Amino acid sequence: MRILITGSRGYVGSRLCEMIFNDHKKLNVVGLDTQFYDLSKNQFENIFICKDIRDITLKDLRDLEVVIHLASLSNDPLGELNKKLTENINFKATLNLARLAKKAEVKKFIFISTQSVYGISRYKNKTIKENEKNIFPITEYAKSKFKAEKSILKLASSKFCVTILRPATVHGPSINFRSDIVLNNLCSSAFFLKKIIIKTDGKPYRPVLFIDDLCKIIIECIYKNAKNINKFIINVGYPNKNFSIIEIAKLVKKVFIKSKIIIKNEKNHDERSYKVNFNLISKKFKKVLNFKNKNILDDIKKIKHFFYVNKFKKDYFLNDKTNRISRLKKLIKEKKIDNNLRFTNVKKNKIM
């Protein structure tokens, strides 16, 4: 089966390609990525297209059965870098990709959205379901993702299966590790600084999800009967495991014992807070993940082990190596990309 993974060399994409390469040899992966991180050592795609998703053509999508769309201007702070650019990439380019995929007779389109669409939950003790009517995304990233969801769902048909996954905030090891997302950030801070730094008051709720578990769900969607997942929006996370930031920090401290929790309660901090209902994912994918026995502490231990094995340095945590905004700003400063995130060197668009 021939599949396309956009954002194949991003944080989730690189891990997804690695897991498919190791355990699903029958899947022929075409990876597509801008290569902002220049991961020349990534050997997990069968074919790699170095291209911006804004430039994708019908030719790129020929002879594919599945498209997994991960590529985006990712996460909420990054989305604020350039609001118009965020809409162009996360909404317009996504819709164009879906339309071209349908025209190319792709059978499945799996869109990786976000639980950030839930913004600030009005109900402290209520978990949000996928079909919640009162959804008010508060960031450009979330707004663009939500807008894309609604548009591509309209393209779904009996011959073009559209599935939307809304993952909790992802954490865990990857060759393109990110330290700018909640649990990874707290672990990195604990490991390198011996401080678990919380910029908010610690009260916002933010469900979390281990990267390998997200990848397993995506892979299952590839194989799953299209009738069972077509036109579905699915929250991906663990039932009964909605944690506040301070609760996550306390779990991190149990693994990084010598670290100290510091609550800064800064103004203008990220105000997102939501508890999510994961009954649908538990029902449809109960054979894929052992939801009941999930222990976040095991994930944190894996992250700690990852730091040691890969000889992670303090600089990696603090500079652009693991921080998306810092990386883009550095590339712009060095004039390798322009303000529209386009490479100044045209040879970047090529197939390998």
**Strand 47-50 with 28-33, pairing:** parallel
Whichever domain contains 233, its CATH number is: 3.40.50.720
38 lies in some domain: yes
pLDDT of residue 351: 58
26 lies in some domain: yes
pLDDT of residue 284: 92
Instruction: Please report which confidence band the pLDDT of residue 345 belongs to, taking 50, 70 and 90 as the band edges.
Output: confident
With a cut of 80, say whether residue 141 has pLDDT above it: yes
**Strand 66-69 with 108-112, pairing:** parallel
41 lies in some domain: yes
Q: Average the pLDDT over 71-92 and give the result.
A: 79
CB < 8 Å & 24+ apart, contacts of 332-338: 337/36
pLDDT of residue 281: 96
Total domains in the chain come to 1
With a cut of 70, say whether residue 123 has pLDDT above it: no
* Amino acid sitting at position 290: N
pLDDT of residue 79: 54
Q: What is the mean pLDDT of the chain?
A: 91
pLDDT of residue 282: 93
pTM metric for this prediction: 0.94
Instruction: Please report which confidence band the pLDDT of residue 168 belongs to, taking 50, 70 and 90 as the band edges.
Output: very high
207-217, pLDDT tens digit by residue? 999 999 999 99
221 lies in some domain: yes
**Strand 232-236 with 161-167, pairing:** parallel
* Whole-angstrom distance, CA of residue 276 vs CA of residue 238: 9
Q: Which domain holds residue 288?
A: 2-176+208-242+272-292+335-351
* Amino acid sitting at position 52: D
Q: Which residue has the higher pLDDT, 340 or 103?
A: 103
Q: Is 199 within 8 Å of 263 (Cβ atoms)? A: no
Percent of the chain past pLDDT 90, that is, above it, reads: 73
Percent of the chain past pLDDT 70, that is, above it, reads: 94
| CA distances, 114 to each of 54, 239, 304 (Å) | 20, 17, 26
* Whole-angstrom distance, CA of residue 208 vs CA of residue 184: 10
* Whole-angstrom distance, CA of residue 131 vs CA of residue 329: 37
With a cut of 80, say whether residue 122 has pLDDT above it: no
pLDDT of residue 181: 93
Instruction: Give φ, ψ of 66 to 5 degrees.
Output: -140, 140
189 lies in some domain: no
330 lies in some domain: no
* Alpha-helical regions (H) of the chain: 11-23, 76-79, 83-87, 93-103, 140-153, 182-193, 211-223, 226-229, 245-255, 279-284, 296-309, 314-318, 324-333
244-259, pLDDT tens digit by residue? 999 999 999 999 999 9
Residues recorded for the chain: 352
256 lies in some domain: no
Q: Which residues, in sequence order, are bridge partners of residue 165?
A: 112, 234
* Beta-carbon contacts of residue 9 (< 8 Å; ≥ 6 apart): 17, 31, 33, 35, 37, 39, 42, 176
* Amino acid sitting at position 321: K
297 lies in some domain: no
With a cut of 60, say whether residue 240 has pLDDT above it: yes
pLDDT of residue 77: 58
3-state helix, strand, coil in the chain (%, to 5): 40, 15, 45
Least confident of 68-72, 305-309, 339-343: 339-343
